Amino acid sequence: MGLEIDLAGKGWPAGTGLPGRRFIVPDIKLIAIDLDDTLLKNDLTISPRAKKAIAGAVKSGVAVTLATGRMFASALPFARDLNLDLPLITYQGALVKYADGRVVYHRPLPLGLAKEVARFLKPYRYHINVYVNDELYMEKDSPEGRRYAGIARVPVRLVEDLAEALTQDPTKMLVIVEEPEIDRLGLDLKEEFGEKINITKSKSNFLEIGHREATKGRALESLARSLGLEPSQVMAIGDSWNDLDMLEYAGLGVAVENAAPEVKRVARYITRSNDDDGVAEAIEKLVLAGQQQR
C-alpha cells in the first residue's frame, strides 16, 4: 500500500482522477530523470537542492539513473557529479551503459537503413547529426551544429557526405529544424520509412531518429526488470515528447511545469519547472517524505 499525502494544492496530480487533494504515492525504488529542461536548469547546471535530494534518495536505498537523449559522453559528467552507479539510459534508450564503460545493450540503426535515411534527408538541407561509437559527426559546420556541440560539450567530426562516410551502425541521428517544418519532416519520414525507425522530438526543434525499439520507456522497463522491480515501483521525471513512453511506463510519471502539454496530460504529478527545482521538489515530496513516514 502506498503512502497517502496531502498535496495542499501544490504540484497537483495531473492524471490521478482522484477527488480532493490527497494522493496515494507508491513505494518508489527506482527513479529515472531526464536531463535537459528537467534536471538541468536553464544554465545547464544541477542545483545544490537537486543534488541533495538525489543523494538522499540514493542513501535511503532508491536507485537513481539518468534517461536522456544526450550522447553517453555528454551525460557521463552529470552522472559522475551525482555519484550515480546505475547504467545510464542515453540516446533516447538506444544505448544503456555503466559509467565504467560496461554496455548493457545497444540498439543502433542498421547501417543500410541509416544510409537510406541520410540520403532521404539530404535534399531538405537541414542540419543533421549522426552518432557513431559515441562520437558526433556532421556534414557541415553550421551555427546549429556549433551551438549543439557547445551544449553537449563534445568534439565534432566533419565529413563531406554523411551517407558515404557511414561505415558502422550509428546509434542515432538528429535533425535540427524549427517549427512548423519539424512536424512536416516527421510526417515525411513516417511516410517513407514507416515502422522501420523510431521518430520523436526531444525539443521543439530536435527531431530524433533511431532504432524502432530505441525508446526511453523500453530502456527503463528493461532496467527495472533487471532490478526485479515492477512499474509501480518506478518514478520517471521528464518534460518532452521523447519522455512520453517513459512516463507512461512508470507507476509514477512526473512532468515538470515547463513540460509539453502532451507530457503533462500523461503525468500523474506535475512538479515545479526545471529552473525552479522541480526535480528536487518531486523527490522530496513523493519519495523522501514518504520514506520518513513509512
Contacts of 107 (CB under 8 A, 6+ apart): 93, 94, 95, 210, 211, 213, 214
CA distance readout (Å), 163 to 78, 166, 209, 213: 32, 6, 15, 22
Measured CA to CA, the distance from residue 134 to residue 164 in angstroms comes to 19
Measured CA to CA, the distance from residue 173 to residue 162 in angstroms comes to 11
CA distance readout (Å), 149 to 71, 74, 99, 154, 208: 11, 10, 21, 6, 16
Measured CA to CA, the distance from residue 275 to residue 43 in angstroms comes to 9
Question: Active-site residue numbers?
Answer: 34
Phi and psi at residue 109, to the nearest 5°:
-75, 130
Count of Cβ atoms closer than 10 Å to residue 257 Cβ:
16
The one-character DSSP state at 67 is B
Cβ burial, residue 62 (10 Å; 0-12/13-18/19+): buried
Q: Beta partners for 99?
A: none
What three-state secondary structure class fits 15? coil
